[in-house]
Structure 1
């Protein structure tokens, strides 16, 4: 099925719909998307609040709601949701073993012309360091809806990474599972979230297995083991490259492997441009991904 709305639009619709059916759900905002959630804020003032531009307070209030039996949703731009209140995520949620949902918008460089202060390429890397934190990277709006409904009430702190870039078609994804998109014999390529369409185009004439990952943590090691066809593994990620390498290595620790990670490089982007221009400059567009996989495989 081809999606017709953006992830952000779907997020508003999904959370609003669940608010009407699940009285345990609570919403905490820090200005971002305040107007988009206007109806929820007005209809449910006892469990929906905008605290203003105070992201640390947003997470603290969400933790207080969780302690009272609510299932909180906190939402903001990626660096303001993850990096600014990182200590609150760690102390208030992960260390207290509280459940909650943290939904970002603007992953990597969606806010490209705002500069690095508004970029968020390091979100998955740093959140992966927190014990108990689950990380979901949907590929389009429909997948966000499916994954959020499946996991929002599972009692764990869970991060959902939304982005402007989306795959055209919805895949039959399930929380915590890799999807097998295509089978081949030369290598196994793991495409994370919105990178799937690019990976499919880049490997169109390659004899490779394509696995699709929308749950980064917990990572589905069993499916990877079952569909690893050679010692060559490629992972294409929409954030800082290398995040999934430890998981892949652990899953295949009894087998000789070569792993190529393709994602955003660890460097400061000092030039301004559109997300598409950044993709091209960083070899994260279809030609760039094709060339990097070809070079790694020697084909």
Structure 2
């Protein structure tokens, strides 16, 4: 199976052909995928070099002229390093852009901590008006990329990862999708966490909701699920643990409820290892999730 990032350049190249407002802004990373696009649209494929602050600033300038910039690099260089420009050049000026990241929380362990960004969604949560898509499969990434570019002049973040579920599901860029129904709690699986959550909860009487758009959060969809499944809610996110607990608490503010936020821990893991080893170390593999979800909901372990 190809990766989400494998889909990125071909999809955006087609969007460059289809829409004269679309421009691509790169900071070296990803430039090889846009060779043909550069030949066809030399004025709308821009590589600023290893200058991440300029990357965002140039995108904001394009947006202020009426363009729809698509901005790409690793998450740590797209959200964290130029955060002041994200806050001011885009947010303060109300300039829209589509930020598309790669490397996610720990997709390239050999790159070390400089290339990891488990706090990217939490950081964007400090700003107003961002839509955040977290696809769990390359097919979903393609759909959500098109949604993002077509979203007028909105500010959109699309978080791509090498981690992926085995199959893609229909996504609309707005709503939670019910994958399994139960009566003893709700588990929200975000993006590439779905397969592990389904395996972890196979014998548990819980509803499983699938989220590929986490901001704005589908509070109405969550509330509907809790009407039959109860108000014990577990969030399983592929980034910083607890990132979405506040929005769940707000959604259920008028009802007694409990929330458990599972995700990437704050402790830095200083050995490179593999993606799978990092997943396990953060307790996001199926067996660890089974134990943690079971203990929180009080549902019995299998005989």
**TM norm structure 2:** 0.96
Q: Is contact 2:234–2:293 with CA below 8 Å preserved after alignment?
A: yes
- Match of residue 22, structure 1, among 11, 14, 19: 19
Q: Is contact 1:66–1:72 with CA below 8 Å preserved after alignment?
A: yes
Gaps of 5+ in 1: none
Residue in 1 that maps onto 2:7: 10
Give 1:80 shift.
Answer: 0.5
Give 1:166 shift.
Answer: 0.3
Give the alignment of 1:143-154 within 5 angstroms.
143-154=140-151
Per-residue CA shift, 1:48-77, capped at 9, x if unaligned? 111100010011111111111110011001
Per-residue CA shift, 1:205-243, capped at 9, x if unaligned? 111101111111111100100111212110100000101
Distance in 1 (alpha carbons) for counterparts of 2:126 and 2:39: 37
* Residue 200 of structure 1 pairs with residue 198 of structure 2: yes
> C-alpha root-mean-square deviation of aligned residues, in Å?
0.9
**TM norm structure 1:** 0.97
Aligned residues, how many?
296
Distance in 1 (alpha carbons) for counterparts of 2:213 and 2:125: 12
Q: Is contact 1:128–1:135 with CA below 8 Å preserved after alignment?
A: no
* Residue 76 of structure 1 pairs with residue 102 of structure 2: no
Partner SS state of residue 139, structure 1: coil
Runs of 4+ in 1 over 2 A off after TM superposition: none
- Match of residue 88, structure 1, among 59, 62, 85: 85
Distance in 2 (alpha carbons) for counterparts of 1:11 and 1:293: 34
Residue in 2 that maps onto 1:34: 31
Partner SS state of residue 176, structure 1: coil
Q: Is contact 1:195–1:236 with CA below 8 Å preserved after alignment?
A: yes
Q: Is contact 1:60–1:88 with CA below 8 Å preserved after alignment?
A: yes
Distance in 1 (alpha carbons) for counterparts of 2:9 and 2:257: 42
Residue in 2 that maps onto 1:279: 279
Gaps of 5+ in 2: none
Distance in 1 (alpha carbons) for counterparts of 2:281 and 2:198: 20
Per-residue CA shift, 1:89-139, capped at 9, x if unaligned? 110111111111000000001111221111110101101111111111011
